Amino acid sequence: MKKKKKVKISKFEKFLYTLTCFLLLVSPIFIVFTKSTLSEVNYEVEKIKREIASQEKENESLKMKINELASLENIQKVIKDEGLVYNNDSIKNID
């Protein structure tokens, strides 16, 4: 019967094997965690983009309303409704 020689593994090799096993076990978990975090961030970014687009539409609508209310025809209508008289001679321009 032949005797088997026992192979001695150094402490450094044990450390490398342990580290490799640890990395093989932890890396898939880390990858899934980072992808889920990235997905959440992308969802938040899209949500904020939709909010910005909605706010821009509202701002544009309000600008149009301001222009409509500030029009000369509207001002003259308000003046007439309030019983005031529009006198162009009393308007002074400052340069």
| pLDDT confidence of residue 56 | 97
In this predicted model, what pLDDT tens digit does every residue of 50-85 receive, in sequence order? 999 999 999 999 999 998 888 888 888 888 888 887
CB burial string 83-94: b at 16+ within 10 A, e below: eeeeeeeeeeee
Please indicate, yes or no, if residue 19 is contained in any of the structural domains. Answer: yes
Please indicate, yes or no, if residue 75 is contained in any of the structural domains. Answer: yes
Number of structural domains (the chain) is 1
CA distances from 41 to 19, 21, 24 (A): 31, 31, 27
Global pTM reads 0.56
In this predicted model, what pLDDT tens digit does every residue of 25-49 receive, in sequence order? 999 999 999 999 999 999 999 999 9
Q: Beta-carbon neighbour count of residue 66 at 10 Å?
A: 10
Please indicate, yes or no, if residue 17 is contained in any of the structural domains. Answer: yes
